[in-house]
Structure 1
Amino acid sequence: MINRRKALQGLAAVATAGSVRVAAAASSEPIVIGLQTELTGALAHDGGWGKKAAEAAVAWQNERGGFAGRPLKLVVVDTETKVDVGIRRLQQLLQQENCDFIIGSGHGGIGMASVPLCRDAKVTYLPLARTDGITTELGNPYSVRIVANSTMGASAASKWMVDSLGKRWGMVLADYAFGYSQREAFTASLAKAGGELAQAIALPVNTNDPLPYLLKLDRSLSGIVMAILGPDSVRVYPALRSLGFGKTPKITVSCTQNLFDIVRLGSAVEGVYALDEVPWELDDYPNPAFSKTAFDRIGIGSNGRAKDGDDYVMLPNAIMAWECTELLRMAVEGARWKTKADNLSLSNWLVSNPDFALSEGFPQGGFSVRAADQQAFIDQYILQIQGGRMKRVSKVAGATTVYPSKDLVQR
């Protein structure tokens, strides 16, 4: 279990609204941050919000003095939501743009392929992808992840599900690796919480008629875990309601509710629960005054939707991209980083300074980074659609989602 200490003592500046900046470094050369993201393809909407957040965060950091007095430059590349393209764009960031740090893709396959390349280049990579293997298999000194993986998400949800809604759960899952990883995670976490995953229905991706699959669902289930993605969700939720499962509790797995405009489905999704890394509405954050800075800068309204127009927001990626820049600032200043040759010093600094406090830079909440794999354990939230709005129901402390790890990070 991670020991909680006062946030960031010693060399680091404390991350509060009035944090003191480290004096300007001798060099005035900009620090180059790469953003490897999805601007076209299936995840373009998500990546677009990550881009807005990274741009806003860099502008905010520059207004406050950059990192140790040095200005920041952001370079953005488009993975096209394709692994091969994502790797070519990463090589562009590493070799042509000479990036000092890279905020990585939210696509699991791209993230898994990128981590070893950044390790070999000795460039610190902060992936937004949530695939377990990024830290359970590929953990190294040059990869730091502050988003929750599938194991952490299932752990955060399962105890609340069993305690609040019942013990026998079913799952509707996407019939590919993502869905099966969720089935594995929830099978283990529900059993640990005293419940069970009693049934799992695999739904082929882009199924035009989900009814033949959904008809197999056991009507005695306490609830249904929804491990499907946007295009299928639009058809599945109305179909479940038509089959009489409208009042059966349903909970989405982490971040899938952000992949489409779920509240637009109206009565078909009223009462649906969601596990998320962040609340949606400003007033549901731990400190709305801190969160308002990120919301205003990124262009998010107080209801969690776009300020301009009425677009839905990929909130976890947006907020986490914002937080990645603050983590980098604190590590750069705390470790007295000067160039990429010092990137290992950031990992060493994290060992001594694993705890990060709630602040304008970390509006999601405080978290701890484990030295063994450089995975952060963040608070997660149980939300529910109530009257067409996604409202906070409960918070699950990050410390309760810690799982065993091998000592993968060899410094």
Structure 2
Amino acid sequence: MKRVIRGLLVVGLAVFMVSGWAIAKEPIKIGMLADKTGGLAAYGYSHEKVLKAAVKKINEEGGIVGRPVRLYVEDTESKPSVGALKFRKLVETHGVDFVIDSNSSGIAIACAPVAKELKTPYFPSAGATEISGEKGNRYVFQPCTNVREECKGAASFAVKNIAKKWVTVVVNYAWGWSNEKEFKKYVEQKGGKVLKSIRVPLGTSDWLPYLRKIPREAEAVYFANFGSDFLSFIRDLYAVRPDIKKLGAVYVLSAQDPAKLGPAGEGLYCITSYPTRLEGLNTEYNRKYRSLIGVDPEGLEIGIGKRFVLAYDWAVWESMFLIKAAIERSGWRSRKDTSKVIEALEGMKFKESVEFPQGSGYIRAEDHLAIVDLYIEQIVGGKLKVAARIPAAKGAYPPIVDRTKESF
């Protein structure tokens, strides 16, 4: 009888060791919602390249707790309905453990309830305030700065250094609405005044009918658009109000060559969470990061020579390392441990490093928002220069929600 018991114990121990070894070698599956086609294709291209570089770095250094990372990429087509379907495909078909990205606030908001339903941590690099507010949930983290944070941080600079009488001009969807609302709130708190708010449909080629509505007494325009919309806007604005000062939201100059904008762009200010040119954040860690993702000091893709979309690339990169740190701290082994990894992320602090090249900061426990520094860039002589660095504390605002009180 004793021999039988000992034999069963040996067999049990062997099974335990084999299953433990299997888990240890099983890949950690990361899903990516890349905006590979459609209006955000330039962002999808850069974000995918950056995340692949992060995964490569981790795997070359031994993986996460000895396990390799495997990346699965699906194209959102820059559409919220497609993004939500692809999120489900990543989890239900590919079996991913975590999902990173989409640069679209509309896609992020559409995916948030799916993340909760499928109990899958989600890290969109999109700026709408609602993502870390009423449209989010305990499974959603916002690893980049959001519009409220950006507008609050920039408001004082805008009133003191640019103008007091403003007009807002934004593209007519979630990201634009957030910028319109938050800029008005915070610039008026600092003593400025928004005289008029103008919304323009996405993809508009002729902005003149809208820009002619700008009041004569307006001294400056705060605008939120990008890509072809930005080029149409800046051309037509110069035609009707060449004198007006300009401050753009995060993204507006992504992939644009400031020198080619000519007089229409000269003097333009822009909020950013990451300087385009290396001289704006010339640290050992940022130099290494840019080398790993293949971007030169001027913001051009090495070997290709085209402008790389850098706006929230750092947040895609850092999302991968936040996941890595949370797995290591929580003892996560599989999806059944998801609650542990979420609790590890809530309130997580990180120090400036190659893994966190944008700078030191933390993930606020209550609303899962990244609290980090901001910058104001300006086009001077056809080149982007950092005009101001804004400490994280100036952009931070009281949390809208408390996710830590939500059940899993």
Q: Same fold (TM over 0.5)?
A: yes
Q: Which of 262, 268, 272 lines up with 1:272 in the alignment?
A: 268
How far residue 284 of structure 1 moved from its aligned partner, in angstroms, is 1.4
Count of residue pairs the alignment pairs up = 385
Q: Choose from 375, 386, 390 the match for 1:392.
A: 386
Q: By how many angstroms is 1:261 displaced?
A: 4.7
Indicate the RMSD between aligned Cα atoms, in angstroms. Answer: 2.0
- Tell me by how many angstroms 1:173 deviates: 2.1
- Which position in structure 2 is the counterpart of 1:16? none
Q: Which residue of 1 aligns with 2:65?
A: 68
> Closer, same or farther in 2 for the Cα pair 1:103/1:208, shift >3 Å?
closer
Cα 1:176–1:248 shift into 2, 3 Å: same
Partner of 2:129: 132
Answer yes or no: is 1:225 the counterpart of 2:225. no
Contact 2:129 2:147 in 1 (8 A): yes
Query: Which of 158, 162, 165 is matched with 1:161 structurally?
Result: 158
| Cα offset, 1:263, TM superposition | 4.5
Tell me how far 1:243 sits from its aligned partner: 3.0
SS at match of 1:170: strand
* Residue aligning to 2:43: 46
* Residue in structure 2 matched with residue 19 of structure 1 by the alignment: none
Of 96, 99, 104, which residue of structure 1 is paired with 2:96? 99
What TM-score comes out, normalization by structure 1 length? 0.88
- 1:90 is the counterpart of 2:84: no
Q: How do 1:7-406 residues align onto structure 2 when only pairs under 5 Å count?
A: 27-245=24-242, 247-258=243-254, 260-285=256-281, 287-351=282-346, 353-404=347-398, 405-406=400-401
Runs of at least 5 residues in structure 2 that lack an aligned partner in the other structure: 1-20
2:14 counterpart residue number: none
Query: 2: CA distance between counterparts of 1:244 and 1:318?
Result: 33
Please state how far the C-alpha of 1:262 moved relative to its aligned partner: 5.0
Aligned residue for 1:291, secondary structure, equals helix
Distance 1:228 1:368, change over 3 A: same
Output one character per residue of 1:339-379: Cα deviation in whole Å (capped at 9) or x when no partner: 1111111222234x522111111111111211111111121
- Tell me which protein shows more helix as a share of its residues: 2
Q: How big is the shift at 1:302? A: 0.9
Whether the 8 Å CA contact 2:258–2:383 is kept in 1: the answer is no
> Structure 1: any 5+ residue segments left out of the alignment?
1-23
Specify whether residues 123 and 264 from structure 1 end up closer, same or farther in structure 2 by C-alpha distance, changes over 3 A only: same
Q: Shift in Å at residue 281 of structure 1?
A: 1.1
Q: Aligned residue for 2:7?
A: none
Say whether the 8 Å CA contact 2:97–2:335 is kept in structure 1.
yes
Q: Is the 8 A contact 2:27 2:68 kept in 1?
A: yes
Q: Per the alignment, do residues 205 and 293 of structure 1 end up closer, same or farther by CA in structure 2, a change over 3 Å counting? A: same
Q: Is the 8 A contact 1:379 1:397 kept in 2?
A: yes
Structure 1 residue 193, shift from structure 2 partner: 1.6
C-alpha displacement at 1:33, in angstroms?
A: 0.8
Provide closer, same or farther for how the CA distance between residues 209 and 95 of structure 1 changes in structure 2, counting only shifts above 3 A. closer
**Within 2, Cα distance between the matches of 1:206 and 1:87?**
23
Could you tell me how far apart the structure 2 residues matched to 1:145 and 1:181 are?
15
The residue number in structure 2 matching 1:18 is none
Tell which deviates more after alignment, 85-94 or 133-142: 133-142
The structural deviation recorded for 1:244 is 4.3
State how far apart, in whole Å, the 2-side matches of 1:279 and 1:374 are.
Answer: 24
The amino acid that maps onto 1:312 is: R
CA distance in 2, matches of 1:262, 1:386: 9
Task: Name 1:15's counterpart in structure 2.
Answer: none
TM-score (normalizing by structure 2):
0.89
Change (3 A) 1:367 1:147: same
**Paired letter, 1:278:** Y
CA distance in 2, matches of 1:257, 1:195: 24
Q: Would you say the 8 A contact 2:258–2:379 is kept in 1?
A: no
Give distance in 2, aligned partners of 1:263 and 1:29: 49
Q: Which amino acid aligns with 1:274?
A: C
Whole-Å separation in 1 of the counterparts to 2:195 and 2:208: 20
Runs of 4+, deviation exceeding 6 Å: none
Q: Secondary structure at the match of 1:315?
A: coil
- Residue pair 2:170, 2:176 contacting (<8 A) in 1 also: yes
Structure-2 separation of matches of 1:161 and 1:208 = 28
